[in-house]
Chain A
Amino acid sequence: MGDPDQSDLGGEPRLRFRDDEPHEEPAVTLDAFFGQTNATAVRLESDEDARALIPHIGQLALVEVAFPTFRDGRGYSAARILREAGYTGELRAQGDVLVDQIPLMRRCGFDAFAPQADIDRKALDRALGRQPYASQKAADAAVPVWRRRHG
């Protein structure tokens, strides 16, 4: 997991919920990705179509999804689409990412975060541990309440 005191190292994730080594290659734009067949890291702007990456998920180790403002919720769908398609690499939320959004993002499949402002790690830990059960199935491992009820 990422060190909360670590300063912003230019796009390096500051919070990471993965055990593998952080990916070294810088993320390229979607346009650049399609022009350069061997890239392994790509950045998706909020108005870009995550589905365009599906044919290539096998070669990708990092997808960075941009949140230009925390109110722009398209990235949540982008994350789920990629996870539902079987993408297992790092999925990083970058930009206006706030404490109270991260638990939702985790459920959509994000496992790394590069917030543009400092995150209060204690508040985040409280937020992540808050809800004991999930009401619905999403892209994480949480078991929806209806499955707990009926086995």
Chain B
Amino acid sequence: MYRYDEYDQAAVDARVEEFRDQVNRRISGAMSEDQFKPLRLMNGLYLQLHAYMLRVAVPYGTLDGRQMHMLAHIARKYDKGYGHFTTRQNIQYNWIKLDQAADILAELATVEMHAIQTSGNCIRNISSDQFAGAAADEVEDPRPWAELLRQWSTFHPEFSYLPRKFKIAVIGADQDRAAMRLHDIGLQLYRNDAGEVGFRLFAGGGMGRTPMIAPVIRDWLPKQDLLSYVEACLRVYNRHGRRDNIYKARIKILVHEIGAAEYARQVEEEWAHVKTLGLDPPAAEFERIAAFFAPPAYEAGVPDTVDLSDPDFRLWVDQNVSAHKQPGYAVVTISLKPREGIPGDASADQIDVMADLAERYAHNELRVTHAQNIVLPHTPKRDLYAIWQALDAAGLATPNLDLISDIIACPGLDYCALANARSIPLAQKIAGRFADLDRQRDLGEIKLKISGGINACGHHHAGHIGILGVDRKGEENYQLLFGGSGAEDASLAKIVGPGFSEDGVVDAIEKATDVYLANRTEGERFLDTYRRVGMAPFKEAIYG
């Protein structure tokens, strides 16, 4: 894991003092709320329906036990004893007081954490593959590049007042676990025919009210040119992105309106100039950062087999444990989607339990996934049973990874000022309807994603089954969508038909799963069957 040096620490410490100063100027009246708003947003502080919400950055979703314990401490001391892990691979606290926000940032700074640029029209927290460094299918660990981008984008003087927010994802495998092509810029490390590793760069993806899958802008980008090239991408966007309408201000609209080829041409022209400015760090800096992400000190000779005689344990291993590239090791995903729970929520005690397990068994590392779960990336198989028992005792052993009850849901109308409808109670209803685990396992992988409003924080466009909350004449109403994917087979979900009440949408999903069961062929997931047979049979069963 990356560790701060004196320069990184100084930047974060200075930021805390800056924010304290800004809050004081706001409270004294020297600054208007309109002037203060972008400043607090760039420190992750939102004004929600009931209180301030603070979004803390977990850069590329990676953190250690000490940092995880700090998140628990903040939940206890400044919130109501829990935190909410989000689709941005971050954590949000929903009950924050303005006059305590700077103190929280100061506490975070003691463990090399911050809330810098977790909101606002700037370059946001960089996202990445939650299995980075552990996945068997990985070409290279993408996180050194994510860290490089984090440092470059921090307080970027030219790109702090962009037309709109800007999200970058970096992955290093063929399998896309980070919804990379639904980001403003997506970067994929791959090996070319000459055996070198470099980037393929995508730009113009995003969700929101006009979802787009990012097209390729540059098929091959040498690693050492990453920063100058991304700088050129951003400059073209900052100058030419629309500023007349916030719903058309994301880079996806620019790329769509002028076309990917024309955008790429402008970027190349800009880069020809930018490349000469000496913005790219020397190889020594890449190596310095990469050294922090060296593989952990794996134990030699740990057994590669697991005793699965306990049936409940076996179920959990089957569902929530994935292959690791190192023999004797496994990747554990801790589901934050217990029955009746709130997707992504964890209590302070649960956060401490996960931190302890990482420290004790799993090379002191954790990841936050965009599906709102937590990963222990480097776990000896020998310790899986002990880990499972500890998780089970803490209510964290739900064996439902990627099943229909592993629902992504945004905070919705229970918290969010921009919401049209609630998403949490709906997620709970759906999980309740499909409570039977055998039934869930029979249905197999179904990625169900719920957004309470048009901003699509719940990634409904990328759901095998997506749900969008809308406001219909003052009533909460839900649109149902099928066929989305945020993975390497990225696609955007399509609306099935007229919307439903909360109960109606649960019934409709159940009917859709019946259609799937009746039509599937061997090995087909819900998504595959839908893609093969099309919308018609589903529509007929639901509305017929």
Is A98 a contact of B35 with CB atoms below 8 Å?
Answer: yes
A25 CB–B CB distance under 8 Å: no
Nearest A residue to B239 via CB reads A77
Interchain CA distance A74-B240 in the complex, whole Å: 8
Per-position binary interface string of chain B over residues 161-187, scored 1 when its CB falls under 8 Å from any chain A CB and 0 otherwise: 111000000000000000000000000
Most buried by A among B8, B151, B239: B239
Interchain CA distance A47-B270 in the complex, whole Å: 18
Is A77 a contact of B235 with CB atoms below 8 Å?
Answer: yes
Per-position binary interface string of chain B over residues 236-253, scored 1 when its CB falls under 8 Å from any chain A CB and 0 otherwise: 001100010000000000
Taking CB atoms, residues of chain A closer than 8 Å to B17 are: 130
Interchain CA distance A85-B22 in the complex, whole Å: 35
B415 CB–A CB distance under 8 Å: no
B514 CB–A CB distance under 8 Å: no
Is A80 a contact of B282 with CB atoms below 8 Å?
Answer: no
A126 CB–B CB distance under 8 Å: yes
Taking CB atoms, residues of chain B closer than 8 Å to A100 are: 22, 39
Is B158 a contact of A80 with CB atoms below 8 Å?
Answer: yes
A108 CB–B CB distance under 8 Å: yes
Is A146 a contact of B282 with CB atoms below 8 Å?
Answer: yes
A146-B281, A149-B285 known; A135 vs B11 contact (CB < 8 Å): yes
Is B273 a contact of A84 with CB atoms below 8 Å?
Answer: yes
- What distance in Å separates the Cβ of B277 from its nearest Cβ neighbour in chain A? 6
Taking CB atoms, residues of chain B closer than 8 Å to A57 are: none
Per-position binary interface string of chain B over residues 29-52, scored 1 when its CB falls under 8 Å from any chain A CB and 0 otherwise: 010000100110000000000000
Near B by CB (< 8 A), chain A positions 16-73 give 70-73
Per-position binary interface string of chain A over residues 117-151, scored 1 when its CB falls under 8 Å from any chain B CB and 0 otherwise: 00010010011001111011110000011111110
Taking CB atoms, residues of chain A closer than 8 Å to B533 are: none
B313 CB–A CB distance under 8 Å: no
Chain B contact residues: helix, strand, loop or mixed: helix
Nearest A residue to B158 via CB reads A76
Chain A contact residues: helix, strand, loop or mixed: helix
Taking CB atoms, residues of chain A closer than 8 Å to B513 are: none
Is A71 a contact of B14 with CB atoms below 8 Å?
Answer: no
Nearest B residue to A76 via CB reads B158
- What distance in Å separates the Cβ of B465 from its nearest Cβ neighbour in chain A? 37
Nearest B residue to A74 via CB reads B239
Q: How many of chain A's residues touch chain B, expressed as a range? A: 35 or more
Interchain CA distance A144-B279 in the complex, whole Å: 9
Near A by CB (< 8 A), chain B positions 261-318 give 273, 277-279, 281-282, 284-285, 288
Once A and B bind, how many residue pairs between them come within 8 Å at the CB atom? 109
Is B277 a contact of A137 with CB atoms below 8 Å?
Answer: yes
- What distance in Å separates the Cβ of A48 from its nearest Cβ neighbour in chain B? 11
Is A132 a contact of B10 with CB atoms below 8 Å?
Answer: yes
A73-B160, A76-B157, A76-B161 known; A120 vs B30 contact (CB < 8 Å): yes
| CB < 8 Å neighbour of B161 from A71, A133, A138 | A71
Is B161 a contact of A145 with CB atoms below 8 Å?
Answer: no
| CB < 8 Å neighbour of A73 from B155, B162, B227 | B162
A104 CB–B CB distance under 8 Å: yes
Taking CB atoms, residues of chain A closer than 8 Å to B196 are: none
Interchain CA distance A13-B209 in the complex, whole Å: 43
Most buried by B among A101, A103, A145: A145
- What distance in Å separates the Cβ of A10 from its nearest Cβ neighbour in chain B? 24
Interchain CA distance A101-B15 in the complex, whole Å: 14
Is B239 a contact of A148 with CB atoms below 8 Å?
Answer: no
Interchain CA distance A138-B160 in the complex, whole Å: 13
Taking CB atoms, residues of chain B closer than 8 Å to A80 are: 158, 235
Interchain CA distance A144-B243 in the complex, whole Å: 30
Taking CB atoms, residues of chain A closer than 8 Å to B156 are: 135-136
- What distance in Å separates the Cβ of B5 from its nearest Cβ neighbour in chain A? 7
Is B157 a contact of A72 with CB atoms below 8 Å?
Answer: no
Is B238 a contact of A73 with CB atoms below 8 Å?
Answer: yes
Nearest A residue to B7 via CB reads A145
- What distance in Å separates the Cβ of A13 from its nearest Cβ neighbour in chain B? 20
B99 CB–A CB distance under 8 Å: no
Taking CB atoms, residues of chain B closer than 8 Å to A131 are: 10-11, 14-15, 18, 155
Taking CB atoms, residues of chain B closer than 8 Å to A76 are: 157-161, 238
Taking CB atoms, residues of chain A closer than 8 Å to B151 are: 135-136, 145-146
- What distance in Å separates the Cβ of B7 from its nearest Cβ neighbour in chain A? 4
Is A138 a contact of B154 with CB atoms below 8 Å?
Answer: no
Interchain CA distance A84-B272 in the complex, whole Å: 13
Taking CB atoms, residues of chain A closer than 8 Å to B5 are: 149
- What distance in Å separates the Cβ of A46 from its nearest Cβ neighbour in chain B? 8
- What distance in Å separates the Cβ of A68 from its nearest Cβ neighbour in chain B? 10
B21 CB–A CB distance under 8 Å: yes
A74-B239, A130-B17, A132-B14 known; A137 vs B278 contact (CB < 8 Å): yes
B360 CB–A CB distance under 8 Å: no
Interchain CA distance A135-B12 in the complex, whole Å: 11
22 contacts between A and B (CB under 8 A): A70-B35, A100-B22, A105-B157, A107-B157, A108-B157, A108-B158, A120-B25, A123-B30, A127-B18, A127-B21, A130-B18, A131-B14, A132-B14, A135-B11, A135-B152, A135-B154, A135-B156, A136-B152, A136-B227, A137-B277, A146-B282, A150-B288
Task: Give the 10 A-B CB pairs with smallest separation, nearest first.
Answer: A73-B161, A107-B157, A146-B281, A146-B285, A104-B157, A145-B7, A150-B284, A76-B158, A135-B154, A133-B7
Partner-B contacts on A (CB < 8 A) = 70-74, 76-77, 80, 84, 98-101, 103-105, 107-108, 120, 123, 126-127, 130-133, 135-138, 144-150
